[in-house]
């Protein structure tokens, strides 16, 4: 609770270095906090409980797209600051390539051992194209709105390694009740945060998130994400 309260005071602590009025920046911070909490709460309600995956993913994506556009209209430098840029893309991707390869190879090996999983499945293709976008929004929340603010908070004086630990734990908890995903996402987020604090490129991290998650969920956890996306519509079929 202390951390959440401190986050709300973040822009007040650093307002002297920004041209945005304090009252407006305070509104931004409050809105971001509300958005983060709503995104987390709706994940458990709409995805885990109601199986409304398509509605949740679409709604949350449009929500954050609208907010990013709104902030860009008022501050043209915000996009680059938030990591939506080409600088650092190559360095970040090169850093993550070993992690990507290990995850894909492990997924294929375990998928081949598991006879219930077909290695070649067309439904993997659309997910492979769509998931990086969803991964981008998840990393935007974790890296930009949470990790960066934690590092810049003056009242609790966290260094980047403490922010990495806290952010990774939060990202792990959001994947409850799958203990496998909780463990995996914790270490994945640690790797992502190390790359983020060095190169500040969100695009490469979102792409990596999408690729790794697609293979991991499909082959290791045997989850057909394409079918899950439309799970809620099954009772409506005639």
Question: What pLDDT shows up at residue 25?
Answer: 63
Question: What pLDDT shows up at residue 16?
Answer: 39
Question: What pLDDT shows up at residue 222?
Answer: 84
Round to whole Å and give the CA distance between 179 and 197.
27
Question: What pLDDT shows up at residue 115?
Answer: 57
Question: What pLDDT shows up at residue 22?
Answer: 55
Per-residue pLDDT tens digits of the chain, which is 238 residues long? 444 444 444 433 433 344 455 556 667 778 888 899 999 999 999 988 888 888 999 999 999 999 999 999 999 999 999 999 999 999 999 999 999 999 999 998 887 766 566 667 788 899 999 999 999 999 999 999 999 988 877 677 789 999 999 999 999 999 998 999 999 999 999 999 999 999 999 999 999 999 999 999 998 888 888 888 877 665 544 4
* Residue partners of 100: CB distance under 8 A and separation at least 6: 208, 211, 212
Q: Indicate the length of the chain as a whole number.
A: 238
7: left (phi over 0), alpha (psi -120 to 50) or beta: alpha
* Residue partners of 138: CB distance under 8 A and separation at least 6: 171, 206, 209
Question: What pLDDT shows up at residue 28?
Answer: 78
Question: What pLDDT shows up at residue 230?
Answer: 77
Question: What pLDDT shows up at residue 109?
Answer: 87
């Amino acid at each position: 609770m202390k951390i959440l309260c401190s986050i709300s005071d973040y822009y007040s602590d650093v307002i002297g270095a920004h041209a945005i009025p304090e009252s407006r920046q305070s509104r931004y911070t409050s809105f971001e906090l509300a958005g983060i909490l709503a995104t987390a709460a709706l994940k458990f309600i709409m995805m885990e409980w109601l199986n409304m995956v398509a509605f949740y993913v679409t709604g949350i994506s449009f929500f954050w797209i609208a907010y990013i556009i709104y902030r860009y209209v008022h501050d043209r430098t915000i996009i680059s600051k938030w990591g939506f840029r080409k600088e650092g893309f190559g360095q970040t991707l090169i850093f993550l390539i070993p992690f990507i390869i290990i995850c894909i190879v492990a997924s294929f090996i375990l998928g081949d051992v598991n006879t219930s999983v077909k290695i070649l499945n067309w439904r993997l293709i659309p997910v492979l194209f769509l998931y990086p976008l969803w991964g981008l929004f998840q990393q935007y929340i974790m890296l930009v709105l949470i990790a960066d603010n934690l590092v810049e908070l003056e009242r609790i004086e966290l260094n980047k390694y403490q922010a990495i630990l806290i952010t990774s734990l939060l990202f792990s908890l959001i994947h409850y009740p799958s203990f496998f995903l909780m463990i995996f996402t914790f270490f994945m987020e640690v790797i992502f945060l190390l790359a983020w604090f060095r190169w500040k490129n969100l695009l490469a991290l979102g792409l990596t998130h999408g690729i790794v998650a697609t293979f991991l969920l499909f082959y290791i956890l045997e989850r057909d994400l394409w079918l899950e996306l439309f799970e809620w519509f099954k009772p409506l079929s005639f």
